[in-house]
Amino acid sequence: MTTLHPAASRATDAVAGSPRRAGTGTTATRILGIATIVSMCWLVAFGLGFSPADRDQEEAVRLLYVHVPTIWLAYLAFVVTAVSSAMYLWRRSLGWDRLAGASAELGVVFMAVTLVVGALWGRLTWGVFWQWDARLTTTALLFVTYIGYLAVRNLGGSHAQRATRSAVLGLLAVLEIPLVHFSVQLWRSLHQGRTFEPNDTNMDGLMLFSLFVGVIAFTLLYTWLIIHRTRAMAMEDMIDDRGLDDALAARRAEAAAVPGADEEAH
């Protein structure tokens, strides 16, 4: 038996129907997934049910239990993106690049949720959807920045090209954020008094616990999804590579078929 070229053997695998193959899940992620769902249910029960209304904010305080965890998740995701970008530039391993990309995608999704829920909450407690304070404005600009980051990831080129470009951009975003935050803060503090403090709530034990449940639930969710997403991205890259193998084989066959070839073609 001659050993087949890996590309060739994979190509035949692909043709042989679609057998039930292992997905992106493993025992660990399944446990993680169940833990996420359970803690999400807890979050709903505590957030909407057990926790008391606030003295000042009354029932509106219940938004805190989903709003803060989504912000936390989004910022966690962007920190991971920044760190993985730096790690990629240091180590040049595509795994870091995919982690950065998957994390940015999660961050953008949850940043969008954060902005919408934040606006609703603002309407309830401040009476307006939007306040030009540093936190909100930075968050909005961060959101747009990472949409740009994801756009650059999709520009094409080889995996290494994509990885270097996006890693550099991921680090530039880190440069950008403090500047934006500081400038908005300076602007608002010079022109009017302190804006609303979103967290001017007196938290009792049960409220703190509900918030804690929320943060745990969303951290579990992040971990769970990032593992699946990174694995899916790895497979996307593999499919690209396999596409190249197939295209290469096709082109070589084309060369062999051209007449006038001497012994070298065979």
Partner 1 sequence: MSSAATDPAPVVELDDAVAVLGSFPALAGATLRVQRREILLLQGPNGAGKTTLLRLCAGLLPVARGRAAVLGWDLAHHRREVRPHVGLLGHANGLYLDLSVGDNVRFWGSTVGASGAEITEAMALLAVDGRLGGLKVRSLSAGQKRRTALACLVARRAQLWLLDEPHAGLDAAGRDELDRTLRAAAAAGATIVVASHELERAGALATRTVEVVAGQVREP
Partner 2 sequence: MDDAGFIIGSYALTFGAVILYTWRVLRRGRKLADQIPDEDKYWL
Partner 3 sequence: MGVTRIAWLVARKDLRVEWASKVFTNQVLPFAAVTMVIFAFALDADVVLERVAPGLVWLATLFSLLVLVQRSFAIENEDGALDATRVAGVDPRAIFAGKALALAVELVILEAMLLLAAVVLYGQDVPIEGVPLLAVTSITATCGLAAVGTLYGGLAAGFTGRETLLPLLTLPAVAPVLIGATRAVEAALGTAGAVVSDGWPWVGLLTVFAVAFGVGGALAFGPLIDE
If the CB atoms of residues 22 and 190 are measured against partner 2, the closer one turns out to be 22
90 belongs to the binding site for partner 3 (CB under 8 A):
no
Q: Work out the number of other CB atoms within 10 angstroms of the CB of residue 47.
A: 22
Binding mask 123-162 for partner 1 (x = CB under 8 A): ---------------------------------x-x-xx-
172 belongs to the binding site for partner 3 (CB under 8 A):
yes
119 belongs to the binding site for partner 3 (CB under 8 A):
no
116 belongs to the binding site for partner 3 (CB under 8 A):
no
243 belongs to the binding site for partner 2 (CB under 8 A):
no
If the CB atoms of residues 184 and 221 are measured against partner 2, the closer one turns out to be 221
Separation between Cα atoms, residue 107 and residue 209, nearest integer Å: 24
82 belongs to the binding site for partner 2 (CB under 8 A):
no
Interactions with partner 2, residue window 5-24 (CB under 8 A):
10, 13-14, 18-24
To which residue do tokens 């709003």 refer? 67
Residues 18, 22, 24, 30, CA torsion sign:
positive
Task: Choose which of 60, 87, 168, 216 interacts with partner 2 (CB under 8 A).
Answer: 60
Task: Choose which of 86, 117, 171, 234 interacts with partner 3 (CB under 8 A).
Answer: 171
Separation between Cα atoms, residue 13 and residue 177, nearest integer Å: 47
> Which pairs from 138-143 meet CB under 8 Å and 24+ separation?
138/177, 138/180, 138/181, 138/184, 139/71, 139/111, 139/114, 139/115, 140/115, 141/180, 142/78, 142/111, 142/173, 142/177, 142/180, 143/108, 143/111, 143/112, 143/115
If the CB atoms of residues 106 and 169 are measured against partner 2, the closer one turns out to be 106
263 belongs to the binding site for partner 1 (CB under 8 A):
no
If the CB atoms of residues 117 and 168 are measured against partner 2, the closer one turns out to be 117
Separation between Cα atoms, residue 106 and residue 74, nearest integer Å: 7
62 belongs to the binding site for partner 2 (CB under 8 A):
yes
Q: Which residues bind partner 3 (CB under 8 A)?
A: 141, 144-145, 147-148, 151-152, 155-157, 160-161, 164-165, 168-169, 171-172, 175-176, 179-180, 182-184, 186-187, 190
Q: Which residues bind partner 1 (CB under 8 A)?
A: 156, 158, 160-161, 240, 243-244, 247-248, 251-252, 254-255, 258, 261-262, 264-265
